Amino acid sequence: MRPVSRVRCPWSRTRWSRPGVGASGNRLTLDGYLAAGGIQHALAHTAEAAYRALSPVQQDLARSLFLRLTALGDGTEDTRRRITRDELDPNPDTACVLESLARQRLVTLDEGCVEITHEAVIRCWPRLRGWLTEDRDRLLLHRQLTDATSGWERQGRDPHALYRGARLAAALELAAAEGSRLTSKERRFLDASREAEAGEMVAVRRRTVRLRQLVTLLTVLVVIAATAGGLAVDSRDSAIRQRNVAIARKAAADAAEVRQQNPSLAAQLNLAAYRLAATGDVRDQLMSAFAVPYTSRLTGHTSDVVSISVAPKGTVLATASWDRTVRLWDIGDAHHPVQLAVVNQPERLMAVAFGEGGRVLATASERSVRLWDVANPRVPAELTTLPDQRSAPTWVAYRPGGVIATGHTDGAARLWNVNDPRHPRLLATTLAGHTGTVTSVTFSPDGRTLATTGDTTTRLWDVTDPADPLLLDVLRGHTDTVTSAAFSPDGRTVATGSWDRTARVWDIAGSRGPRKQRSSPPAVLLGHPAIVWSVAFSPDGSTLVSVGGSTLFWDLAAPANPKRAGTVQGGFYQAAFSPDGRTLANSDRLLDLRDLSLATHDDVVTSLAFDPGGRLLASASWDGTARLWQVTGGGRALWPLSVLHGHTRFVRSVAFSPDGRILVTASEDGTVRVWDVTDPRRPRLTSVLTPGAGEVGGAGFGPDGHLLAVRAQETAELWDLTDPGNPGR
């Protein structure tokens, strides 16, 4: 066998002492080397022999030493690690272990450093491999602790380099499990970390306690401040509420004072007061204000509006005032009147009247009567002035056909031909007879009769031939000056108002001809708190309005016995209806009559029923009548249409047929009356049902409208109303 050359390496002096391993003197043969297991086996054998030669304490130190001298690979092989002697505890056992391992060429000691002689020891020694794979996570944790301890020592034991939190908890768990393998420096590091964390925890607890105390104090202060602020706010709010209540009550009191003269202003004041302070008494005042229909004001005049006139066609209103102006308005929307023009005059105005279909306007002032072209109401133009005014004008009225009547302070009225408005001429001699100032002149709708008022009388004149007027009648009865007169649309009735605070309704159907005697005395209308300045008929003649401190509405279904149908607070000087009857103008106020419910039953209302369309309402009452009403203003008000008479006792029930054309009324007189209400202003009785079982309590239609169920005192019956004029059981 060929001898092997001498190997020069750090572990070349490792003894090959196994017998029969091909050693000859100082020479090692290849066969001997291979038989001995090579270097790896020799290193493992040497390391194991050196380890076993140590005492148990030293063996534990040797294990710790080798683990410290190994750099753990992360996905790579473990390698040797060079450490300083300072990393190890300076005790005799440690020195003995180092000397023993150095003699066996397993570690190298050099200038205060220690390292494994060759990485082959790490790979070839099974015991070391076992130590390294036994718990690598713990080894890594220990290595981090070692590095942290070294850094701490290098930084002069800076407290900021100590462990805290989770890292300290993991390191303490390592120390509890393998405390013997930690060096004294590492234990000092952990002790310092534990003490630092404990100190910090104490400081944190102290800060927490202080913070809680501070928070508690701040909370108390906030509560105190909030309470004080709340009390201050409450006090302020209470003061504001008391102030608002006082202001609201004052506004409500002011509204109550002006309600009669200016209901619209009163309503606005009450609404503002309620929004400011919704107290019970203010709410009551508000409800009281809205019990009165809202009236719009015509603003602009600076003195009393003493006369008004509505154009016969259209929506133009003229107002005359003592402020020496005439103003023209568009009142198409009664709630939002629009001023069209202002006509200035040199004297106070007394009266105003439209003529020629609303194209010409006549104005009477203290000294003159003028005619104006108002075909374009936004640009009125003066036409002429009536000549030869022997006394001051007090009133003016226009009739179709180009005739004007004027009243004067000398107790006379005069007639003028104004067919050519630019060239008027006097027609008749003076219409005399009044002992004082003529307070008004009024033409009948057909223009054949003229009424003049003054002193305590109203004089009726036949002016069929305006050049030759004839006195028809003198209406006497008022006890003080008569202020105004108005003809009904059919010309058969005259209403008058007076300073005696009454209005009267006169039947003049028999007054034409030479002074015929009237068959009945006038109806006297009471209830005004002041002078009755004006009277006016509605366009359909069913309602009369009298104005005197308050505005009273009278139902003229029976002209000989008018019934008060409604009251609106306030009212002075002249009143006039619009041509469509929807608006009432009174001095400087406008009232939308669709907001006003007129007419009432004289006793308890027992039943109500709407027609299928919801625009017609029927009511029954203990007064023995039923009434039909038009629902206006989207349900805001009721307008009377007709009264159904015939029952002799209480009317218990009303009911419409499904098509709304038939109305039945049931009464305690034992009858059911069937009415055709196709024209609700003129209902027609078609038949009377007599169940014959005592008082009738109610009736109702079937779904098809042909069957009527009647509930009487002792029975219930069905009637066939296929033919309402010929019903059958």
Give 478-532 pLDDT, tens digit per residue.
999 999 999 999 999 999 999 999 999 999 886 665 555 555 789 999 989 999 9
pLDDT of residue 39: 67
Q: How confident is the model at residue 2 (pLDDT cuts 50, 70, 90)?
A: very low
How far apart are alpha carbons 292 and 294 in whole angstroms? 6
Q: Give the closest residue to 130 by CA, choosing from 51, 67, 42, 43.
A: 67
pLDDT of residue 42: 77
pLDDT of residue 161: 81
Q: How confident is the model at residue 267 (pLDDT cuts 50, 70, 90)?
A: confident
Proportion of the chain above pLDDT 90, given as a percent: 34
For residues 270-286, b (16+ Cβ closer than 10 Å) or e, as one string?
beebbebbebeebeebb
Please give the average per-residue pLDDT across 226-252, as a whole number: 87
pLDDT in tens, 592-616: 887 776 667 767 888 899 999 888 9
pLDDT of residue 5: 37
pLDDT of residue 362: 94
Proportion of the chain above pLDDT 70, given as a percent: 89
Token match 């209005």: residue? 503
pLDDT of residue 458: 94
pLDDT of residue 14: 46
Beta bridge partner(s), residue 728: 720
pLDDT of residue 29: 57
How far apart are alpha carbons 604 and 601 in whole angstroms? 7
Q: How confident is the model at residue 10 (pLDDT cuts 50, 70, 90)?
A: very low
Say which residues have a Cβ less than 8 Å from residue 439's Cβ, sequence separation at least 6. Answer: 394, 395, 407, 453, 454, 481, 482, 483, 484
pLDDT of residue 517: 55
Beginning with the edge strand found earlier in the chain, give each strand of the sheet holding 107-110 in spatial order: 83-84, 113-116, 107-110
Instruction: Show the CA angle centred on residue 502, arms to residues 576 and 581, nearest 5°.
Output: 20
Structure tokens at 420: 């050519």
Higher pLDDT, 429 or 458: 458
Contact 471, 516 (CB under 8 A): no
Using the predicted structure, report yes or no on whether residue 234 has a pLDDT greater than 80.
Answer: yes
How far apart are alpha carbons 380 and 394 in whole angstroms? 22
pLDDT of residue 519: 57
pLDDT of residue 174: 73
Question: Mean pLDDT lowest for which of 138-142, 427-431, 568-572?
Answer: 138-142
pLDDT in tens, 450-491: 999 999 999 999 999 998 899 999 999 999 999 999 999 999
pLDDT of residue 117: 82
Question: Mean pLDDT lowest for which of 281-290, 373-382, 605-614, 625-634?
Answer: 281-290
pLDDT in tens, 690-714: 887 678 888 899 998 889 898 887 7
Beta bridge partner(s), residue 309: 318
The rounded Cα 221 to chain-centroid distance in angstroms is 40
Question: Mean pLDDT lowest for which of 183-197, 280-294, 636-650?
Answer: 280-294
pLDDT in tens, 299-346: 899 999 999 999 998 899 999 999 999 999 999 988 889 999 999 999
pLDDT in tens, 76-91: 777 888 888 777 877 8
Q: Give the closest residue to 435 by CA, choosing from 452, 447, 422.
A: 452
How far apart are alpha carbons 618 and 51 in whole angstroms? 124
Using the predicted structure, report yes or no on whether residue 555 has a pLDDT greater than 80.
Answer: yes
How far apart are alpha carbons 296 and 260 in whole angstroms? 14
